């Protein structure tokens, strides 16, 4: 099948029309999506009508799937799907993460082998708000001022889930998790500049949701470096804003793209299914 691949912005992203992820066995389609992911960092697949099992099967073509650390937000019967949702059950409790990722981040960076990529499928979207911003961390790295690049080169950051929760309003902490579930959430140390294992390109690698500190620097020096890098990669030239359409599947490459969810009017539903593909240890 011929897929129509069109760039979405100067910064990053391509839209693919004509794909059908329900036909996950189709090698040509898989190759086209894979190529577009490596070239554009974010792939938007329009008009997908897929079941949880089909989303899982297509995602698995790219690698093993992660089970999200916030166990109560895994979809019942389909633990590979993280519910990103502000729907509530009959007791009024959230059924998923209603405000996941409100700060710039790359998924599961607190794992020793963080995610390769994530697929987010929109099943209900608010009339306005709730967009997702994506930043091209490869282009941002290439445009770094040499002095700032030298400050980041060879440095590592430690990531701890929950370390920044008060600042980024991550509602995960409001969920009831057992002590043993909390204790199973890993922590990790990763380079601030990483090399993409498939393209060989360098990117800034920095998650503001979970960063605890930059190793080998005082807290103030580390915060300063993180602020300078963040100010740089969030410039409009590196950012694409995705305005969701119903039944979009957005697939992003966590190895070279950061993302951030925008707020919306909580009286409206925003309900999405996310699969998260496991990746390699950053270097
Ligand atoms: C996420 O960080 O995976 C959620 C992004 C979003 O809800 O737009």
Tens-digit pLDDT string for the chain (283 aa): 678 899 999 999 999 999 999 988 889 999 999 999 999 999 999 999 999 999 999 999 999 999 999 898 999 999 999 999 999 888 888 889 888 888 999 999 999 999 999 999 999 999 999 999 999 999 999 999 999 999 999 999 999 987 765 444 455 556 677 889 888 999 999 999 999 999 999 999 999 999 999 999 999 999 999 999 999 999 999 999 999 999 999 999 999 999 999 999 989 999 999 999 999 999 9
Q: Which of 107, 170, 248, 253 is catalytic?
A: 107
242 lines ligand 1 (CB under 6 A): no
Task: Name the residue at shortest CA distance from atom 6 of ligand 1.
Answer: 261
What is the position in ligand 1's atom list of the atom closest to the CA of 259?
Answer: 2
pTM here is 0.95
Take residue 178 and report the two structure tokens written for it. 């057992």
The question of whether 107 is a catalytic residue gets the answer: yes
The question of whether 105 is a catalytic residue gets the answer: yes
Per the listing, tokens 């997908």 go with 48
The question of whether 259 is a catalytic residue gets the answer: yes
Take residue 3 and report the two structure tokens written for it. 């897929």
What one-character DSSP code corresponds to residue 57?
A: H
Q: How far apart are CA 48 and CA 248, in angstroms?
A: 6
Q: How far apart are CA 254 and CA 242, in angstroms?
A: 16
Q: Which of 213, 242, 273, 274 is catalytic?
A: 274
Q: How far apart are CA 178 and CA 56, in angstroms?
A: 27
| CA proximity to 31, closest of 49, 44, 19 | 19
Q: 179 and 234 in contact (C-beta within 8 Å)?
A: no
Q: 131 and 262 in contact (C-beta within 8 Å)?
A: yes
Sheet with 257-261, strands from edge to edge, namely: 239-242, 132-136, 257-261
Ligand 1 centroid to residue 270 C-alpha, Å: 11
Q: Which of 68, 259, 270, 271 is catalytic?
A: 259
The question of whether 102 is a catalytic residue gets the answer: no
C-alpha dihedral (18, 21, 26, 28), degrees to nearest 10: 50
Q: How far apart are CA 70 and CA 269, in angstroms?
A: 21
Domains of the chain plus CATH, in order, are: 4-277 (3.60.130.10)
Ligand 1 centroid to residue 103 C-alpha, Å: 10
274 lines ligand 1 (CB under 6 A): yes
């Amino acid at each position: 099948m011929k897929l129509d691949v069109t760039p979405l912005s100067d910064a990053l992203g391509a839209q693919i029309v004509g794909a059908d992820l329900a036909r996950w066995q189709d090698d040509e389609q898989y190759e086209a999506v894979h190529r577009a992911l490596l070239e554009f960092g974010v792939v938007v697949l329009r008009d997908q009508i897929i079941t949880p099992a089909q989303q899982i099967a297509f995602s698995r073509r790219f690698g093993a799937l992660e089970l999200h650390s916030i166990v109560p937000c895994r979809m019942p019967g389909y633990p590979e799907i993280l519910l990103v949702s502000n729907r509530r059950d009959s007791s009024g409790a959230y059924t998923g993460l209603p405000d996941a990722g409100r700060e710039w981040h790359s998924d599961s960076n607190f794992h020793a082998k963080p995610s390769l990529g994530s697929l987010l499928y929109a099943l209900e979207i608010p009339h306005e708000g709730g967009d997702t911003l994506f930043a091209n961390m490869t282009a941002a790295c290439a445009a770094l001022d040499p002095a700032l690049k030298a400050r980041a080169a060879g440095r590592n950051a430690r990531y701890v889930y929950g370390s920044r929760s008060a600042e980024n309003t991550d509602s995960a902490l409001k969920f009831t998790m057992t002590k043993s579930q909390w204790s199973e959430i890993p922590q990790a140390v990763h380079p601030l500049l990483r090399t993409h294992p498939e393209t060989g390109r360098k990117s800034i690698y920095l998650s503001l949701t979970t960063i605890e500190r930059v190793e080998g620097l005082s807290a103030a020096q580390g915060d300063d470096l993180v602020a300078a890098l963040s100010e740089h990669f969030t410039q409009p030239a590196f950012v694409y804003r995705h305005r969701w359409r119903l039944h979009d599947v957005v697939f992003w490459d966590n190895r070279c793209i950061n993302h951030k969810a925008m707020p919306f009017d909580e009286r409206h539903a925003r309900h999405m299914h996310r699969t998260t593909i496991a990746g390699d240890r950053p270097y």
